[in-house]
Amino acid sequence: MEIGSLDDIKLPLVPLRDVEVEVMRKGPRDTVLDSSAKLDGLTQKALDFYDDLLSEPLSLDDGKLLAAQTDAARTILSTQIRVDDSRLRKRTTDTLAALLERIDQEDVRLMKLVGQDRE
């Protein structure tokens, strides 16, 4: 059966009936927990902690302190790389959209010019 042959199909008429639905709530609706403010506070605490940790002079004698400082530095650099990458992608995407818009405008302008030359 081809799709075009379905154009003239007639569906049978079916009587409609009203249905009443009762909705029962079991209790108050849970509110959405927005933890962004809490996350911002904890992020600031973590940054302050890392700042204090990395402000300590490097000591090759204290292996635990050196390991903590190395881990802190690695975490901070990794996070900064991700943030920079995200910023670069956004900037690239924004530039690409503007460039595509400009190309479209130039295409329209050129089509008008070509159309005038033919007349």
pTM: 0.46
DSSP annotation of 13: P
pLDDT of residue 20: 72
- Domain residue ranges in the chain: 35-118
pLDDT of residue 103: 92
Give exposure, 54-67, as e/b (b: 16+ Cβ within 10 Å). eeeeeeeeeeeeee
- Could you read off the pLDDT tens digit of each residue along the chain, which spans 119 residues? 566 666 777 777 777 777 676 666 665 555 556 678 888 888 899 999 999 999 999 888 999 999 999 999 999 999 999 999 988 887 766 777 788 889 999 999 888 887 766 65
Structure tokens at 98: 């503007």
pLDDT of residue 81: 93
pLDDT of residue 87: 86
Structure tokens at 25: 């709530």
